[in-house]
């Protein structure tokens, strides 16, 4: 069975460092035989979570827009790569806006108990976080990880790995980074291989 991969680009800046890194990862998965789709959040129309908590009762979001269709897509694939640059020590407002909209899945899991991912399901579904930052600080990604963990948990994906590169300001862009693009490509091949093995069992 073909491994399905969904890349989600959370940068408002098209074809910048983060999206280029995501593209390299997706190229790797494609070369390993995966069926790949990329969604650019900038092209979708969705509003931030309203915090109305209506989903706590119904398990459905009262706002019907592109965010819901995207979550349905996420739930249907084997691997997701969620990409965002670091803006002011966190993920972009665009990606945070999407992640917060997953509250209805959280409600289904923990309040209504109508959604359950088995350990085996989680093991077979791999999530990766792809990011770049201008800053050279090692801790520049720390503020992003908890929200990424939240979307992977909410949608039944194991947090497989990070593909991250800082110091973009010094390198003057991802294309000048000595290893990042190649490492992302290799990671794409690797994760498809891992998922294929798990699916064959």
Partner 1 sequence: MTIKVLAFAGSPRRNGNSETLLDWVLASMAEDPDVSVQKVPLTEANINICRGCNACEKLNMCIQRDGMDIWHDKIIEADCILLSSPIYCMGIAALPKALIDRAQVFRSRKYVLKLPVVPPERKGKRLGVFLASAGQDWSNVFDAAIPSVKCFYHVIDIRDGDISYLMINHVDEKGAIERHPTAKADATRLGKTVIAELKRRLAA
Binding site for partner 1 (CB under 8 A): 11-13, 16, 48-53, 85, 87-94, 96-97, 99-100, 102-103, 139, 142-147, 149-151, 154
From CA 115, how far away is CA 156, in angstroms rounded? Answer: 10
Closer residue to partner 1 in complex, CB, 145/158? 145
φ/ψ (deg, to 5) at 176: -95, 0
Least CB distance to partner 1 at residue 118 (A): 23
Closer residue to partner 1 in complex, CB, 29/166? 166
CA proximity to 27, closest of 166, 138, 163 = 163
Burial (CB count <10 Å: 0-12, 13-18, 19+), residue 186: middle
From CA 86, how far away is CA 89, in angstroms rounded? Answer: 6
Residue 115's DSSP bridge partners are: none
Closer residue to partner 1 in complex, CB, 26/95? 95
Least CB distance to partner 1 at residue 6 (A): 19
Least CB distance to partner 1 at residue 55 (A): 13
Burial (CB count <10 Å: 0-12, 13-18, 19+), residue 150: middle
Closer residue to partner 1 in complex, CB, 36/168? 168
Q: What tokens were used for 99?
A: 């992640």
Least CB distance to partner 1 at residue 191 (A): 24
Closer residue to partner 1 in complex, CB, 90/193? 90
Least CB distance to partner 1 at residue 73 (A): 19
Burial (CB count <10 Å: 0-12, 13-18, 19+), residue 89: middle
Least CB distance to partner 1 at residue 93 (A): 4
Closer residue to partner 1 in complex, CB, 24/92? 92
């Amino acid at each position: 069975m073909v491994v399905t991969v969904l890349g989600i680009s959370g940068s408002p800046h098209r074809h910048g460092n983060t999206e280029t890194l995501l593209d390299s990862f997706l190229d790797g998965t494609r070369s390993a035989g995966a069926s790949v789709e990329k969604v650019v959040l900038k092209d979708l129309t969705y509003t931030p979570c309203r915090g109305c908590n209506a989903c706590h009762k119904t398990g459905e979001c009262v706002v019907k827009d592109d965010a819901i269709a995207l979550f349905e897509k996420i739930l249907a694939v084997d691997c997701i790569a969620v990409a965002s640059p670091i803006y002011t020590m966190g993920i972009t407002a665009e990606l945070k806006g999407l992640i917060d909209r997953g509250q209805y899945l959280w409600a289904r899991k923990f309040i209504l108990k109508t959604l359950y991912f088995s350990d085996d399901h989680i093991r077979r579904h791999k999530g990766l976080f792809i990011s770049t930052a201008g800053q050279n600080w090692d801790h520049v990604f720390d503020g992003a990880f908890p929200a990424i963990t939240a979307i992977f948990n909410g949608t039944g994906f194991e947090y497989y790995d990070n593909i991250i590169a800082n110091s973009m300001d010094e390198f003057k862009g991802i294309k000048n980074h000595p290893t990042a693009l190649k490492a992302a490509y290799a990671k794409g091949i690797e994760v498809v291989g891992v998922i294929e093995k798990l699916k064959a069992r």
